[in-house]
Amino acid sequence: MSQPTVTMKPPAHGRAGGYFAGIRDVVVLELKQRLRSRGWYIMLAIWFILTGLVTWLTWAGWNAQRETQRTYGGFNPAETAGPGSMIFEVVLAFVLLFALLVAPALSANAVNGDRAGGTLAILQVTLLRPGQILWGKFLAAWFAALAFLVASTPFLVIGVALGGMTPGHVLVALLMLAVEVGVVCAIGVGISALAGRPLFSIVVTYLAVAGLVFGSLISFGLGTGLSQGTIMANQAQYRGYSALERMPQEGEVSSTTREPEFTCSGPLVAQPAVHTERVAWMLSMNPYVVVADAIPYPVRATTNFGSPQGAIESISQAARYAMAGPEGTYPCANGEAKPRYLAQETPLWPLGLGLQLLLAGLLLWLGWRSLRTPAHRLARGTRIA
């Protein structure tokens, strides 16, 4: 008497475990190949030296400025901030700039480089799925790029050690830098899977990064030309400085100086204004805007007329101005006095990061489609094995 056979399906967690194990194997294989390369270590050493040089030059420049203030007057040790904030912002801008230059080089030939070398077909004939190959190469490129970020971490910590910054600033900055590097690596791997030749994919990836950095600024500037309009506002009447807070003399530094107070009076009339809030989403895709706007800066209402303290903070403040539009930045819009320094109430970086992730996800999905086998159609000159 024959017994019925029962086919047992593997549990769901077993399937997921097998899928992630395949990704892990690709990551390990890619990292071993990169670690065998001497050029990767040379680039890492150059990165560390350059970041240290930038840190030292920033510290030396701050000391020179302090000596100038001490020589010509206006120097007060109790009121002069330390170099920590300046070092942190300069190093952060430098690391983000070179991360955007290094990440495409580590990811833009991850797939078509193996295709040109005849090793991609070896992976495709195994039990590995296209998604496992693509995710493995993306994670390997991201981990390799994060090594450069780790090498620059000590110089960001110097900003905390020298005062003016908190450990939270460093943690948020490192997290956002890692996310931005991951976005660029995803874009590079996706383009690498789509393009047939490594040189073409590298060039296109750099153009995509340039589009995010400079193209967002250009598109925002052109968009403001199409966003002209009017706003109802009246006249600002400045009252000068209060009796307790005198205006500083030339060459004098005072941390108690407030921006001049003003009141709004007169009838509301239509004033020409640029509605930047309509095109602020273009500016939000800039990696510098994403990183700068994510760092929590305190509201500065009494220092240097309410102006930002550094380049990164200035970028964050400019993004808030663009998102607020004339309704929140025009001095007497709707008869209300507007502050010169805007609080970070509604951040702009989630929108920009979401658009970046959408672009990277689309490229990865298109790259996944190009890696499916059997391939029904190949570009001319594409190597199969």
Quote the pLDDT of residue 382: 59
Whether 320 is covered by a domain: the verdict is: no
CA dihedral 35, 40, 42, 45 (to 10 degrees): -90
Mean pLDDT of 329-342: 72
Residue 255 domain-assigned?
Answer: no
- Percentage of the residues of the chain whose pLDDT score is greater than 70: 76
Structure-token pair, residue 128 = 């590995």
Structure-model confidence comparison of residues 247 and 26, the more confident one: 26
Domains held by the chain: number: 1
Q: Is the dihedral of CA 92, 64, 82, 157 positive or negative?
A: positive
pLDDT of residue 307 exceeding 60 = no
117 pLDDT more than 70? yes
Residue 260: inside a domain, yes or no?
A: no
Mean pLDDT for the stretch of residues 347-368: 91
Q: Which long-range contacts (CB under 8 A, 24 or more apart) does 207-210 make?
A: 209/100, 209/103, 209/104, 209/184
pLDDT for the residue numbered 208: 93
Task: State which residues form the domain around 95.
Answer: 17-215+353-370
Is the pLDDT reported for residue 153 higher than 70?
yes
pLDDT for residue 358 is more than 70: yes
Q: Is the pLDDT of residue 225 over 70?
A: yes
Q: How confident is the model at residue 82 (pLDDT cuts 50, 70, 90)?
A: low
In a domain, 8, yes or no: no
DSSP 8-state code for residue 339: P
Q: What is the pLDDT of residue 203?
A: 92
The predicted pLDDT at position 210 comes to 93
Phi, psi of 264 (to 5 degrees): -105, 130
CB neighbours of 208 closer than 8 A, spacing ≥ 6?
A: 187, 191
Query: What torsion do the CA atoms of 351, 309, 306, 74 make, to the nearest 10 degrees?
Result: 180
| For residues 267-284, average pLDDT | 84
pLDDT for 181 beyond 90: yes
Residue 209: predicted pLDDT:
93
Classify residue 291: in a domain, yes or no: no
Please give the mean pLDDT across all residues of the chain: 77
Residue 179 has a pLDDT of 94
The pLDDT confidence band at residue 239, using thresholds 50, 70 and 90, is: low
Asked whether residue 231 is domain-assigned, the answer is no
Higher pLDDT, 116 or 143: 143
Residue pair 302/256 in contact by the 8 Å Cβ criterion: yes
| 247 domain-assigned | no
Quick check: 249 pLDDT over 80? no
Query: Is 128 part of any domain?
Result: yes
**Residue range 328-337: mean pLDDT, rounded:** 73
What is the per-residue pLDDT for 69?
Answer: 67
pTM: 0.79
**Are the C-beta atoms of residues 375 and 198 closer than 8 Å to each other?**
no
